Amino acid sequence: MHRLFGIETEYGIFVEGREASDLVAESMNVVRSYPRIHATAWDYKDEDPRRDMRGFRVDQLSSNPEDARFDRPEQAQLPRDQERSDRVLQNGARLYNDHGHPEYATPECRSLKQLAAHDRAGERIVLECARRRSSAGRIVSLYKNNTDYHGSSYGCHEGYLMKRDVPFDNIMAVALPFLVTRQIYAGAGKVGVEQKNSFDLDAPYQISQRADFFSVEASVDTLHNRPIVNTRDEPHATSRHYRRFHVIVGDANLSEYATAMKVGTTALMLSLVESGWTPPLRLKNPVLAIKQISRDQSLLWHVDLDDNRSIRAVDIQRLYREEAARRFRGEDDETDWALSEWERLLDALESDPMALADRLDWVAKRALLESFIASEGLSWEDPLIQSLDLEYSNVDPDQGLYHGLEQSGEMLRLLSDEDIEEAVAHPPADTRAFIRGESVRRFAASIAAIGWGKVIFKTEGHLTGLNLNPLVDGQVAALNRNLCAAEDIRQFAAMVKEGAKGDSP
């Protein structure tokens, strides 16, 4: 797909006998239960969530006043990085707690199947941690979802490397209609509405868990006053050449197919941005539209444009798909797969959305809940239905309803269990994540600092820094193969430095 991408998932957590104010400590304990080789010296120096891609830096980020009700006084005194328990894993991923949630960030991937495998590897890794923590005391349950059903949301963020020289206005023009309408196949589904005063749109079932929680078109914030287009400027690469397009509007998917399509179509959208294309339409009110689409019980998903016309979300997505096919078909197998599946999805969403119950989370969940409601004589308002909604996302295969569908052969699989176990233990072989993972596997005790774009070793009192930022757009696979032959840390570092020099843009 010609770019690096990754997914960061915050997991919902429930600990038997604990309150919301205990969840920061409990999430830290879950992360600290990780039993395999890891490094802990995460370097925050290159992270600046207040830097905006529009060319300025905000004084502070918005925080949700509701969250503050559950913070303990001693937590308020801690710097943000001291609230975290970081683990950098030998598969190149990062496991940590983001305030009151365990979070897993996949390694950088260059393949949709590769990314889907590493995303699912995260489910197995956090489950292993939860089970170890449970064996030491209270039962811990983790959920791959985006809401606590009491007005708070936590994210599943995507990151895409893209060119720096694309004007911001072009990014907005292309990304905004796309992200508002992408939920028709990328949504995870949700019972009820949490923001009931928002535009007076009630619904027993929505197609998106996150749509309730967006209130502005663009900003750098992620925790409150959330934007549809996030403008955070943290490239994790050479900043004069690249930026990272940070997507916070998406749901956490359990379906491998939905994950691959969510990322594949977004990568193609960014290729359209970089090619200079802009769509011949503008949404009248994107913040209203993202909620209307999510809550539309007719499944027709009409959206108002700024010229007072109305158009279906399916037709907006089809506009992007047809332009991407015209420009990019034939570039590689995964591009062609994504384009073909995109068309197949849109055709089905237009004619019979419920026929996609074997591959889209929101459809699978809705079909499951509708069947239960009919068999038990219940209504959507029954509290049991919301409990089943939550259990759909339980990461424990013995408890999660999604896993039950998968085990009974009712969900389309793109991966084998062996693919996922490979991703649990090993980094992608064709991205810079391999260098991070190998550094952890072979030299964890010598790591003084580590991040997305760097590794710093401390040996015999001397620091050796490796700059991974240039290693995002070249033939990294060849370097990675050669690194396997490095006899010691000195030779390993020398080979990485030489490879980074040759890969600089």
Is-catalytic flag, 98?
yes
Token pair 């209203």 is at which residue?
288
**Quick one: average pLDDT of 286-297?**
97
- Tokens for 393, please give them: 């996302």
Question: What pLDDT is recorded for position 142?
Answer: 98
**Partners of 161 in the beta sheet?**
244
Q: If you count DSSP H runs as helices and E runs as strands, how many of each does the chain have, helices first? A: 17, 20
Q: 81 falls in which pLDDT band (50, 70, 90)?
A: very low
Q: Is the pLDDT of residue 79 over 50?
A: no
- Tokens for 222, please give them: 């992620």
Phi, psi of 450 (to 5 degrees): -150, 145
Question: What pLDDT is recorded for position 111?
Answer: 96
Q: Report pLDDT digits (tens) over 241-272.
A: 999 999 999 999 999 999 999 999 999 999 99
Task: Look at 114-123, 352-361, 468-477 and tell me which has the smallest mean pLDDT.
Answer: 468-477
- Tokens for 62, please give them: 């918005």
Question: What pLDDT is recorded for position 501?
Answer: 86
Q: What percent of the chain has pLDDT over 90?
A: 87
Asked whether 252 and 144 are in contact (CB, 8 A), the reply is yes
- Tokens for 80, please give them: 């943000």
Q: Is the pLDDT of residue 455 over 80?
A: yes
Phi, psi of 89 (to 5 degrees): -100, 165
Q: Is the pLDDT of residue 68 over 70?
A: no
DSSP string over 316-360? HHHHHHHHHHHHHTTS-HHHHHHHHHHHHHHHHHHH-GGGGTTT-
Q: Is the pLDDT of residue 75 over 70?
A: no
CA distance 351 to 299: 10
CA distance 70 to 23: 9
DSSP string over 216-235? EEEES-SSSSEEEEE-B---
Q: Report pLDDT digits (tens) over 382-404.
A: 999 999 999 999 999 999 999 99
Question: What pLDDT is recorded for position 194?
Answer: 86
Query: Please, what is the average pLDDT of the chain?
Result: 94
Q: Is the pLDDT of residue 451 over 90?
A: yes
Instruction: Pick the closest to residue 428 from 102, 116, 128 (CA basis).
Output: 116
Q: Is the pLDDT of residue 65 over 70?
A: no
- Tokens for 114, please give them: 């590769």
Q: Report pLDDT digits (tens) over 401-432.
A: 999 999 999 999 999 999 999 999 999 999 99
Q: Between 150 and 243, whose confidence is greater?
A: 243
CA distance 42 to 444: 12
Token pair 């994210």 is at which residue?
155
Q: Which domains does the chain have, with CATH numbers?
A: 5-360+391-420 (3.30.590), 432-503 (no CATH)
Return the amino acid letter for 366.
R
Question: What pLDDT is recorded for position 138?
Answer: 86
With H, G, I as helix, E, B as strand and everything else as coil, classify residue 66.
helix
Asked whether 390 and 143 are in contact (CB, 8 A), the reply is yes
- Which region, left, alpha or beta, applies to residue 24 given φ > 0 means left and ψ of -120 to 50 means alpha? alpha
DSSP string over 291-311? HHHHH-TTS--EEEBTTS-EE
Q: Between 120 and 475, whose confidence is greater?
A: 120
122's enclosing H/E stretch is: helix 112-135
Q: Where are the beta strands (DSSP E) in 100-221?
A: 101-105, 140-143, 156-163, 190-191, 205-206, 214-219
Q: What percent of the chain has pLDDT over 70?
A: 94
Contacts of 413 (CB under 8 A, 6+ apart): 256, 406
**Quick one: average pLDDT of 363-370?**
98
**Quick one: average pLDDT of 71-76?**
51
Q: Is the pLDDT of residue 78 over 50?
A: no
Q: Between 338 and 196, whose confidence is greater?
A: 338
Exactly one of 43, 52, 86, 98 is catalytic; name it: 98
**Quick one: average pLDDT of 367-378?**
98
Question: What pLDDT is recorded for position 122?
Answer: 98
Phi, psi of 300 (to 5 degrees): -95, -30
Asked whether 148 and 12 are in contact (CB, 8 A), the reply is yes
CA distance 110 to 94: 17
**Quick one: average pLDDT of 205-222?**
96
With H, G, I as helix, E, B as strand and everything else as coil, classify residue 496.
helix
Q: Is the pLDDT of residue 115 over 60?
A: yes
**Quick one: average pLDDT of 442-463?**
96
CA distance 383 to 391: 13
Answer positive or negative: Cα dihedral of 28, 29, 31, 35.
Answer: positive
Q: 83 falls in which pLDDT band (50, 70, 90)?
A: low
